[in-house]
């Protein structure tokens, strides 16, 4: 485990900021590269004085937005039938896609923000947004906000913990539980606000 983390730190250090952008773009699209193995090493390198932590966070966040737009445009221009037909070749099963689409349809556009904070949903939530032709400004803002929160948490985790992979995994799981709880609260608030607006329209 220690050797793997050391290799990741060296790799991120060698690739620099463009590497962070590229890896997070891949993580945010269809290639399963966990953000938990990209951003903590960047945080550790920032603590060691080899990177600027804020530039690393920006690269990770905008890399996530770029990857999200890859999925968004793929869904928008290819359409649902092709995604379901060929998705299995890029690890998107029909069952997984249906779960994410249901999540989007149930919670509306804010799910683009909340989905960025949740595992599995994170890299697929852009697909139903693309199918729905979601407004670009809203899509960008929600994606940047959600990705920015998660990227910041992971980067600072690496900054304070160092390159102890076991501790990073332990605390990233704890952070994930906290994020899920906050997301559930946001969904509840959103539903309540939407309910009041609908009553006012009536």
Helices 165-201 and 136-161, packing angle to 10 deg: 150
Total length of the chain: 202
Specify the higher pLDDT residue, 119 or 197.
Answer: 119
Q: Residue 41: is its pLDDT beyond 50?
A: yes
Q: Residue 16: is its pLDDT beyond 80?
A: yes
Q: What's the CA gap between 9 and 90, in Å, rounded?
A: 27
CB 45 within 8 A of CB 13: yes
Q: What's the CA gap between 61 and 66, in Å, rounded?
A: 9
Q: Residue 5: is its pLDDT beyond 60?
A: no
Cβ partners under 8 Å of residue 176, min gap 6:
119
Q: Residue 162: is its pLDDT beyond 70?
A: no
pLDDT at 61: 95
Could you say which DSSP state residue 92 is in? -
- Residue 172's Cβ-count burial label (10 Å; 0-12, 13-18, 19+) is buried
Q: Residue 154: is its pLDDT beyond 50?
A: yes
Dihedral angle, C-alpha 30, 33, 35, 36, nearest 10 °: 150
pLDDT at 1: 43
SS in 3 state form for 172-197? HHHHHHHHHHHHHHHHHHHHHHHHHH
Q: Determine the straight-line distance between the first and last CA of the chain, rounded to whole angstroms.
A: 59
pLDDT at 64: 93
Domain boundaries, the chain: 2-201
- The mean per-residue pLDDT over the stretch 72-79 comes to 86
Mean pLDDT across the chain: 78
- Model pTM? 0.76
Lowest-confidence region among 22-31, 116-125, 136-145, 164-173: 164-173
pLDDT at 57: 95
Q: Residue 169: is its pLDDT beyond 60?
A: no
Cβ partners under 8 Å of residue 13, min gap 6:
41, 45, 50, 51
């Amino acid at each position: 485990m220690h050797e793997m983390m050391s290799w990741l730190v060296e790799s991120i250090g060698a690739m620099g900021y463009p590497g962070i952008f590229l890896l997070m773009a891949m993580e945010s699209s269809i290639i399963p590269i966990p953000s938990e193995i990209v951003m903590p090493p960047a945080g550790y390198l920032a603590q060691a004085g080899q990177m600027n932590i804020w530039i690393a966070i920006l690269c990770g966040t905008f890399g996530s937005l770029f990857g999200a737009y890859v999925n968004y445009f793929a869904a928008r221009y290819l359409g649902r039938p092709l995604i379901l037909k060929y998705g299995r070749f890029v690890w998107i099963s029909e069952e997984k896609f249906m779960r994410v689409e249901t999540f989007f349809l149930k919670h509306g556009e804010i799910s683009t923000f909340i989905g960025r904070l949740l595992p599995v949903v994170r890299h697929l939530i852009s697909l139903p947004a693309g199918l729905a032709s979601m407004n670009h400004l809203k899509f960008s803002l929600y994606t940047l906000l959600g990705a920015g929160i998660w990227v910041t948490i992971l980067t600072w985790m690496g900054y304070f913990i160092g390159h102890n992979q076991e501790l990073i995994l332990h605390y990233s799981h704890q952070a994930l539980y906290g994020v899920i709880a906050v997301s559930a609260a946001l969904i509840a608030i959103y539903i309540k606000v939407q309910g009041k607006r609908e009553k006012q329209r009536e």
